[in-house]
Structure 1
Amino acid sequence: MSDLHTEHVLLTPGPTPIHPRAMRALTRSMLGHMDPEVFALNREIQADLRVMYGTEPEAFTALLAGTGSLGMEAGFANLVESGDEVLVCANGSFGRRMAEMAARYGAKVRLVTAPLGEAIKPQDVAAHLNDDVQMVAVVHGETSTGVLNPVPEIAELVRQSGALFTVDAVTTAGMEPFKMQEWGVDYAYTGAQKCLSAPPGLAPVAVSERAFARFSARRSPTPLWYCDLGGLRDYWIEHTYHHTVPVNLHFAFHAALRAALEEGLENRQRRVREMGRVITRTLEPLGFSHYVRKPEDRLPTVLALRLPEGFDDAGVRKALREREISVTGGLGPTAGVIWRLGLMGESARPQPYRRLMTELADLLGEPDLVERYESILKEETRELVTF
C-alpha cells in the first residue's frame, strides 16, 4: 500500500469529489434563508442554471432541498395527474424508477424498453406515441449501465406529439451538451453532487414556460407540498416564505456552478472524453473492455467497463477501499460483471486515476500499469483545464 497519499479518492458514479471553491463556500458563516444576500445569491444561481441547461430566457430554475431523486419525483408530482398517460423510456434502474414514481402519482404508465447496455431506439418511442400521451420521460445518461440515450432525437418526436418532455440529466447536465430550449425539453433535473462536484443535498431543476402553464392548469392540488411549483416560485421569485432552504449548500453550489461555467462546458466535455480514452486504453491489456457495445451509446461521464474473466470484483474493490479508493461495481443484473467509473466534475482529472493505477498495479502485480497510464495520458490529452 502506498503511503504517499491519505486523502480518500472517490471514483464512483456519484457523489463526486467536492470542488475546492465549493468546499470553501460551505464553511462560510450562516445567513438566514430570507436574507437579502441569499436572495441575491439565488438570482445568480437561477441565471447560471439557465446557461447550464440552455433554457428559454424566462424558464423557471431553482434548487430543491434534496438529491436528484427529489428532482425526479417533483416533476411527476407537479406535472402528472391521476389518469394521465405517461410514456417512460426504461433501459436501466433509473428509467424503472421513473416509471414507479409516475405510477405512484396515478399515471397510466407505458414503457419503451431496451436491453441493458443498449440505448433506447427513437423508432420504438414513435411506435408508442399517440394523442393520448401527456408526458414522455427519459433518462439522458443511465447511470446503472453507462448508456447515453438519444435525447435530441426523442425530443423531436415528442415535440411533434404535443406531450410534455421530462429528462433526467443527473449524469449529463454540466458536463455533456444539454440544450433544453433547442431540443424542446419541458422539465429537467440533476443532482448537485454529480457533474458539478458540489455537496449532495440539492436538486437543480429547470421548468419550461409550457410546463409551468400545464402545472397552473392542474385539476387538483399538487400532492407533494414540499416541492409544489407554486410555492417554490413564491420563494425564488416573490421572496415569500415557503420552507427553510439549506443556505450553505446554496453558497457551495453557486461556487461549483460558477467554476464549471468559467471552465467552459465545451472544455469539460472534452476532458471527460479524453480521460475516458486514457483509462480504457490503460486497462484494456488487463482484459477490461467496454460494456456498451456501440460507441455512440456510451455515456462519457460513467465509464462502464466489463471485468476480465475470473476477476475478483468484490475482493479488489474491498482492497482498494482499504487503500482509501472507492470504485463502484455493477447494479442489479450487472453486479460482478462491470465496474462503473465516475468521470464527472472533479473526478475527471488525471490525478485521481493515477492513484487508482498505482494501487491496482500493486494489487494485481502489474508493475507497468502506471507507466502505461502516464504514456497514454500524454498521448491522448491536450491541455486539461485546471480551474
Structure 2
Amino acid sequence: MFDDLHLDHILLTPGPTPIHPRAQRALMRGMLGHMDPEVFALNREIQADLRVMYGTRPDDFTAVLAGTGSLGMEAGFANLVEQGDEILVCANGSFGRRMAEMAARYGARVRLVTAPLGEAIRPEDVAAHLDGVQMVAVVHGETSTGVLNPVPQIAELVRGSGALLTVDAVTTAGMEPFHMDEWGVDYAYTGAQKCLSAPPGLAPVAISERAFARYSARRTPTPLWYCDFEGLQDYWTRHTYHHTVPVNLHFAFHAALQAALEEGMEARVRRVQEVGAAILAALAPLGFSHYVRRPQDRLPTVLALRLPQGFDDAGVRLALRQREISVTGGLGPTAGMIWRLGLMGEAARPAPYRALMYALEGILGESRLVARFDEALEGVLA
C-alpha cells in the first residue's frame, strides 16, 4: 500500500527534509497527555536546547508553536505589530514578500527594501529607511532564490534605531551559525522540518525581553489568540492549559534537536560545504552554474543552480520522481530557470546526492557524474 509508504524515497527539496532516525523512533512512542509531568519536563529540555541553537540570553523565552514556519512568521507580527505601526520589510524573494503581506494584514504600514532576485539585501538600503520604524523584518536565508541576507550587518544598523528586529531563520537556524543575542535579534523562528530534520508541524521560536516589553505595551489585545505570547507563557512557563499541543511531534523534535546539538554546528556547516561543492563539481560540466552571482550572497543550505540552456526541467524532474527522487525547481519568476537543492539536516549527506547523480546519468545519457561527485568529495576531505 502506497509503495510501502515510500520508505526509500530520496528527498532533496528545500523542505521538508528526511526525518532523522532518532526523530522517527521518537515519533512512534506511546501517547501522553499534553499536561503530563513528563511532557512538561521534555518541554523544558526543548526550551533550553533552543536557547543554545538560537544563541539567546539565558532567560529568553523559547517555545515551539503547533504549526509550520509560516505560523512562526505570523505569530511575530500578530503579537508585535499594531494598527498603524511603521514596519520595514526586506523583500528579495517569495518569503520576504510573505512577511510584507502578513504585516499589512495586521495593520502595519509597510515599507519595502528590495533587491533583485538572486541578490542580497544591501545594508545601506536598510539604513536609508530606518527613520520612524517600529520593526525591521528580514529573511536570513531566502529559500525561493538561495540567497543569504547579511543579517549581522542589518542587525547592527537596527540596534541603533530602537526598532525591533524579526528574523526568518527557516533555512539557517540549526545548520548555519545564528547568534540572536550577539546580533541583537528580537524575534526569530524556523520550521522543525528544515535544518533539524524533524517532522513538519512545529515552529520553534525565540523571543527577546525587548520583544516582550513591546508586547506588554500593546494598546489592543493580540488578534491571534492561538499564539498570543501570554498564552504561550501560560503553557510553557506556568504549565497551565492553553491548547492541546502535538505531544508526539514534541518528542520527535526533541530527539532531532538534541542530535543536531550533539553533532555540533561546525560539523554541520562543514558537511553542507563538502556536499554542496561536490554537487557543483559533478554538474558544472553539463552547464549547471550558481544562480546567485556573488559567493558571499549564496545560501549554503539551499543550493540554487541555474539550469543549462535547453534543459528539460519538468521532464527531468518527472523522470527523477519516477525513480523515487524529489528535486525542486524554481518558484514563481525562477520556475524553469533553476533547481533548488536542499542541504539541510539529513539531506546534507553524500549518499542521497550520489543517488541523484546515478539517476541523472541514466536520464541524461551522461557518464562520470558519480565519479566527479566522489572525486570532489575525496578532494575536499583530503
For Structure 1 versus Structure 2, the TM-score category normalised by the shorter chain is over 0.9
Separation of aligned partners in 1, 2:43 and 2:130: 38
Contact 1:91 / 1:116 at 8 angstroms: preserved in 2?
Answer: yes
Q: Which amino acid in 2 is paired with 1:296?
A: Q
**Residue in 2 that maps onto 1:385:** none
User: Any idea what the Cα deviations from partners look like across 1:332-382, whole Å, max 9, x if unmatched?
Assistant: 000000000000000000000010000001111112111111111111136
User: Any idea what the Cα deviations from partners look like across 1:70-121, whole Å, max 9, x if unmatched?
Assistant: 0000000000000000000000000000000000000000000000000000
Contact 1:91 / 1:119 at 8 angstroms: preserved in 2?
Answer: yes
Structure 1 residue 6 displacement after superposition? 7.1
User: Any idea what the Cα deviations from partners look like across 1:129-169, whole Å, max 9, x if unmatched?
Assistant: 11x20000000000000000000000000000010000000
Separation of aligned partners in 2, 1:76 and 1:54: 22
**Structure 1 residues 6 and 46, CA gap change in structure 2 (3 angstroms):** closer
**Residue in 1 that maps onto 2:378:** 378
**Residue in 2 that maps onto 1:9:** 10
TM-score by length of 1: 0.97
**Residue in 1 that maps onto 2:196:** 196
Q: How does 1:152-191 map to 2 (within 5 A)?
A: 152-191=152-191
**Residue in 2 that maps onto 1:81:** 82
Query: Alignment identity in percent?
Result: 82
Contact 1:275 / 1:381 at 8 angstroms: preserved in 2?
Answer: no
Matched, 1:56 2:57: yes
**Residue in 2 that maps onto 1:36:** 37
Contact 1:12 / 1:340 at 8 angstroms: preserved in 2?
Answer: yes
Q: Which amino acid in 2 is paired with 1:252?
A: A
Matched, 1:129 2:135: no
TM-score by length of 2: 0.98
Structure 1 residue 274 displacement after superposition? 1.3
Q: Which amino acid in 2 is paired with 1:229?
A: F
Separation of aligned partners in 1, 2:101 and 2:353: 36
Q: How does 1:320-339 map to 2 (within 5 A)?
A: 320-339=320-339
Separation of aligned partners in 2, 1:215 and 1:32: 30
Matched, 1:20 2:57: no
The alignment yields a C-alpha RMSD, in angstroms, of 0.9
Q: Which amino acid in 2 is paired with 1:154?
A: I
Separation of aligned partners in 2, 1:77 and 1:228: 8
**Residue in 1 that maps onto 2:107:** 106
Separation of aligned partners in 2, 1:351 and 1:7: 12
| 3-state secondary structure, aligned to 1:49 | helix
Separation of aligned partners in 2, 1:349 and 1:153: 31
Q: Which amino acid in 2 is paired with 1:47?
A: A
Contact 1:166 / 1:185 at 8 angstroms: preserved in 2?
Answer: yes
Contact 2:82 / 2:106 at 8 angstroms: preserved in 1?
Answer: yes
**Structure 1 residues 244 and 6, CA gap change in structure 2 (3 angstroms):** closer
Q: How does 1:194-343 map to 2 (within 5 A)?
A: 194-343=194-343
Which moves more between the two structures, 271-280 or 36-45?
271-280
| 3-state secondary structure, aligned to 1:205 | strand
| 3-state secondary structure, aligned to 2:63 | strand
Question: Structure 1: any 5+ residue segments left out of the alignment?
Answer: 383-387
Question: Structure 2: any 5+ residue segments left out of the alignment?
Answer: 1-5
Which 4+ runs in 1 deviate beyond 6 A?
none
User: Any idea what the Cα deviations from partners look like across 1:164-214, whole Å, max 9, x if unmatched?
Assistant: 000000000000010000000000000000000000000000000110111
**Residue in 1 that maps onto 2:72:** 71
Separation of aligned partners in 2, 1:133 and 1:381: 47
Separation of aligned partners in 2, 1:126 and 1:366: 49
**Residue in 1 that maps onto 2:3:** none
Contact 1:77 / 1:224 at 8 angstroms: preserved in 2?
Answer: yes
Q: How does 1:352-363 map to 2 (within 5 A)?
A: 352-363=352-363
Contact 2:278 / 2:372 at 8 angstroms: preserved in 1?
Answer: no
Separation of aligned partners in 2, 1:109 and 1:345: 34
**Residue in 1 that maps onto 2:349:** 349
Contact 1:6 / 1:324 at 8 angstroms: preserved in 2?
Answer: no
Separation of aligned partners in 2, 1:245 and 1:332: 34
Separation of aligned partners in 2, 1:369 and 1:275: 14
| 3-state secondary structure, aligned to 1:198 | coil
Q: Which amino acid in 2 is paired with 1:165?
A: L
Separation of aligned partners in 1, 2:81 and 2:152: 23
**Residue in 2 that maps onto 1:96:** 97
Contact 1:287 / 1:309 at 8 angstroms: preserved in 2?
Answer: yes
Separation of aligned partners in 2, 1:272 and 1:26: 26
Contact 2:155 / 2:183 at 8 angstroms: preserved in 1?
Answer: yes
| 3-state secondary structure, aligned to 2:160 | helix
User: Any idea what the Cα deviations from partners look like across 1:18-73, whole Å, max 9, x if unmatched?
Assistant: 00000000000000000000000000000000000000111100000000000000
| 3-state secondary structure, aligned to 2:237 | helix
| 3-state secondary structure, aligned to 2:134 | strand
**Residue in 2 that maps onto 1:369:** 369
